[in-house]
Amino acid sequence: MSEYIVSKSYQNEDFTENELPKGEYEECTFLNCIFSHSNLSHNTFINCSFENCDLSSAKLGNTSFQETKFKNSKLLGLQFSDCNPFLLVLHFENCLIDFSSFYQLNLKDATFKNSTLKEVDFTECNLKNIAFQDCELAGAVFENTILEGTDFRNATNYSINLAKNKVKKAKFSSYGIKGLLDSYDILIE
């Protein structure tokens, strides 16, 4: 039987040995908590925030994140693609999200601020009208991705094949143009 927890604050807790009980967490705060390699599958987080937490390699099978905020957190190797897509809304600020996957997710209401997203898989995602504000995107994969209206002006090190993505009205800065030409194997000096 799963629990229903409202407005609870968790601080300095290590959930690697004793996992977070299965349940629905609403308006809860997790501060300085460790979830690394833990199983968060089948939990629901509604209007929750994770600050200064480590969720690296946590299992997210059918996990529901509705209006969930991650700040100053480590989220390495997460398979967000395993999450429940219903009402999924994620917000990231000052996070390490490297080697994670958002494969086929609708992220049009997500926010990415001052975060690193190296080697992240955005294949077949909907990223329409979002902004990558001061984000590092080295090795991030964009293929059959909806990037219409997406703002890359303050992002760095992205490589996007224009022929394999929907990019109408996407915004790029002049210094980022090289990342749009990588697939053509040309030299720019």
pTM: 0.93
| Beta-sheet strand order (sheet of 3-6) | 3-6, 23-26, 44-46, 64-66
Which range of residues forms the domain containing residue 171?
127-189
Q: Is residue 171 part of a domain?
A: yes
- Clarify whether residues 2 and 59 are in a common domain: yes
Look at residue 187 in the predicted model and tell me its pLDDT.
Answer: 62
Are 22 and 85 in a shared domain?
Answer: yes
For residues 134 and 97, state if they share a domain: no
Please report, for the domain that includes residue 85, its CATH number. 2.160.20.80
**d(Cα 119, Cα 61) in Å, to the nearest integer?**
21
Which residues, including other chains, have CB under 8 Å from residue 163's CB and lie 6 or more apart?
183
pLDDT of residue 186: 58
- Per-residue pLDDT in tens (0 to 9) along the chain, 189 residues: 579 999 999 999 999 989 999 999 999 999 999 999 999 999 999 999 999 999 999 999 999 999 999 999 999 999 999 999 999 999 999 999 999 999 999 999 999 999 999 999 999 999 999 999 999 999 999 999 999 999 999 999 999 999 999 999 999 988 777 777 666 675 666
Residue 188 has a pLDDT of: 61
Task: Tell me, yes or no, whether 111 lies in a domain.
Answer: no
Two tokens, residue 26:
């609403």
In eight-state DSSP terms, residue 176 is G
Domain assignment of residue 1, yes or no: yes
Residue 3 lies in a domain: yes
Element (H, E) at 56: none
Q: Which two tokens stand for residue 176?
A: 């980022």
Within a domain: 114:
no
- Asked if residue 121 belongs to a domain, the reply is no
Token pair for 92:
């990231």
Q: Would you state the structure tokens that stand for residue 132, as one six-digit string?
A: 């990558």
**Residue 65 domain-assigned (yes or no):** yes
Specify whether 86 is located in the same domain as 142.
no
Number of folded domains that form the chain: 2
- Is 106 contained in some domain? no
Please tell me the predicted confidence (pLDDT) of residue 182: 67
And the tokens for 70? 């991650």
